[in-house]
Structure 1
């Protein structure tokens, strides 16, 4: 599996560790930078490229995921999610890393380098990469709603159970 990586200065050392760890564990890391420490670098430059790499690989039929790393992981997740077709999830525990794959079929995981030890961060990435998406109907349906909205900009219809409350709130009852 190919794994695209991007970070900012806060994730530089952790990314370098992951490149080695991924290689040792049979993955093909693709490092989108940065490659030198710059306290003023901008995470979107690198995280957008990592996310685009995942989409390009998947469009080509390749097995590919991504990892973006920053101080908290928040900005990096936001950046990755701006790439059309990407679902990036912030993982802060093994459970959130697992659920990102099992429930959301996330293609990119964001981790906060200042939030975890090297061992914890590596474990979050390992869990994310090794967890398959089982394809349960309810999750496929929800992902489809997000993909449709991303393409059309049209909100999914409200379920019948929500119509009464929404109509009342809008004065349509």
Structure 2
């Protein structure tokens, strides 16, 4: 299950991502924002982070204007490894090496088509499980 959340600037991109997830038959839980009025990104980062912490969802996608604020908010939560990605290489590398469990996107930074390829790459890449990467992830949790 994928947790997805956004602030007001990420609403349109989220709608496109939800259509993509539906087309692939992937289950998700939408934590908002379901409107385009001004909203606070930390609220949505926390909701998605809690869903992952509680094992209600395996991965998350967060969207704000740049992806920066919402990824900072998510990364303050124990066990959340949010990666801001604006290209497929970064999305692949963060899954392989960091076992990132949240993808952050900037709706004002990238277009919808490119964002969907990044989502596809992030969701389709498994963690390498290499000992050196496991060690580094454990160091993040200490």
The TM-score by the shorter chain falls in which range?
over 0.9
Alignment of 1:148-163 (within 5 A): 148=142
Structure 1: unaligned runs, 5 residues or longer: 149-173
User: Rg: which structure is higher?
Assistant: 1
Q: What CA deviation, in whole Å up to 9, does each residue of 1:117-145 have, x standing for no partner?
A: 10001111110010000111110010011
**Which residue pairs with 1:69 in the alignment?**
63
The separation in 2 between residues aligned to 1:51 and 1:108, in whole angstroms, is: 8
Q: What secondary structure is seen at the aligned counterpart in 1 of 2:99?
A: coil
> How many residues are paired up?
142
| 8 A Cα contact 1:72 1:113, kept in partner | yes
**Which residue pairs with 2:40 in the alignment?**
42
**Which residue pairs with 1:32 in the alignment?**
31
**Which residue pairs with 1:11 in the alignment?**
10
The separation in 2 between residues aligned to 1:120 and 1:74, in whole angstroms, is: 18
Structure 2: unaligned runs, 5 residues or longer: none
Across the aligned residues of Structure 1 and Structure 2, the Cα RMSD in angstroms comes to 1.1
Q: Offset of 1:20 from its aligned partner?
A: 1.8
| 8 A Cα contact 2:63 2:105, kept in partner | yes
The separation in 2 between residues aligned to 1:111 and 1:57, in whole angstroms, is: 22
Corresponding position: 1:85 with 2:79 = yes
Answer 1 or 2: higher relative contact order, Cα 8 Å, separation at least 6.
2
Alignment of 1:105-120 (within 5 A): 105-120=99-114
| 8 A Cα contact 1:5 1:47, kept in partner | no
Q: Offset of 1:52 from its aligned partner?
A: 1.2
Q: What secondary structure is seen at the aligned counterpart in 2 of 1:119?
A: helix
